[in-house]
Structure 1
Amino acid sequence: MSENNQDRRRAARERLQRERELEKRREKRRRTLIVASAVVGVLGLAAVVGLIAANAGKDGGGTDAGPVVAPAGAEGEEQLAIPVGAPDAPSTLTVWEDFRCPACAAFENTLRDTIHDMTEQGQLKVEYRLATIIDGNLGGNGSKRAANAAACAQDAGHFAAYHDVLFEDQPPEIDDAYADNDKLIELAGKVEGLDTPAFRRCVQDGTYSAWVNESNQAFQDGGFRGTPTVLLNGESIFPQKGDEQISVENFKKWVAEANEGKQPGTEAPASPTRSPSPADTGSPAPTGS
């Protein structure tokens, strides 16, 4: 075999090897995109839907007459945040969610156990804030009625568990099933001790509908583009932080970095103390719309 033929064959083998390596890299990128899309691909759509809703559905599902009554233990400016975890935890996770939002369910179903573990270990305090942008975009009242029911669950000390049930059993986005108070009460049966006459009355009366509207207005005023909006110590981490996509592993890393050199929180969460309701003052309860 001539030296020229050997050189040509060697060059062909090297070219084939380079092409195979290039194809491997392409396939790796493709798989990475597929995995990322499974977790966050829907988030881009949700952000667009959320933006449309924020622009088209300013009232988030209607207005409610009567005083704005905050649920038990609500914190922050205008008492619009529902806290979970040790008050002295070194980091705070702020989560804006809509109970009809499929991307919110994807976030919760992926990171729920991790967030629960971190709150129980005192690494993280979570402030849940509720929005109703899907109602504003697609019509209906399911976002608002579910948020009202979650606030009623907060009165009973069962917000976190009921919040999880609402996302685990979330209907399709276009199905306004949560507009049915009976459905919300039925789901309360999955949380031990929640389905009581007081909870049912709170749900049926729409006790916190005006508060939910205030919360949704705060979401719109904040300039957020969609739900879920997730902030770690005020910095957005969803669907990514910098160049890194959110995942269980990255979330753990980000919290560890934020907490470096800090002690876990040890203070017990305060027992919810319900604000005076219209029923307490003799005023008529606001009617949910």
Structure 2
Amino acid sequence: MSTTNIRAKKQSLSDIKVFNELIKLMKPRVMSLVIFTCAVGLLSSPIVLSVKDAMIGILFVAMGAGAAGTLNMWYEADLDKLMSRTCLRPIPRGKVNKDQALIFGLLLSIISVVSLYYFSNFLSAFLLFFTIFFYVIVYTIWLKRKTSQNIVIGGASGALPPVIGWTIATNSLSMEPLTLFLIIFIWTPSHFWALSLYKANDYKRAKIPMLPITDGIQNTKKNILIYSLLMIPTILIPYYIGFAGLTFLIPSLALTLYYNYICFNLYSFKKNKFDTNIAKHIFSYSIIYLFLIFVLFLIDKLI
């Protein structure tokens, strides 16, 4: 093999490695949730799109979510290197530099929003733009380092994908997709505060004012329980407005009551202390819980 071919092969391998790191910047696990909830919003709408149009719309929403994740990692690179949960991300490891991440994030943002407008409609494109803007500017840059309510307010961006899925199909907004928004919005605080309990040292080191640091363990446990209980009326709303039936309601309530139970166990543990295993269980279960709620909703709509 000639020297030129060897160099070309090495360059190709290097390009693949950089590409893989850029994909990691997009937070693939978060993207998978965005894709799923967006698809549920789209499939639950009264208008049926072709498979091609649906896949194109979801692709650009996923790309927009990846853009938001990339810009989040670009801005928070200094914090990420201080936290055990995030220190192995591409920028702290030196696999991608901040300029590359910024350019990649901006390009993804522009391409996703413009393409969704071209292939779908203005309302969907605007909501995708708003989602990226809210997550990067409002949550990441403004709220995260300033208030313990960062995750409550910032959770709005993560709750918008099912609404965008609905607007891709209908080019309109109504009460129905807003119930899906509300489910994710109310779910988010208890999910992340459970994580922040057993990762409090990370957040303290990075000087991020998460609730356990600013308000203490006991108040955090109380808020986790309160938000878990708020899921009960939130789950009832789709049924109450006729957007979902008993196929959704009954198992969803059972899942929610178990969520309430484990959150109560966390709260009733020793005052100003918590059981790490329970906190981890709440965090893990909350992910499965949200996934199953949306699966049940989709099953209900298909039936």
Q: TM-score, normalised by structure 2?
A: 0.25
The structure that has the greater radius of gyration is 1
Structure having the larger proportion of residues in helix: 2
* Relative contact order, higher structure (CA 8 A, sep 6+): 1
Structure having the larger proportion of residues in strand: 1
Q: TM-score, normalised by structure 1?
A: 0.26
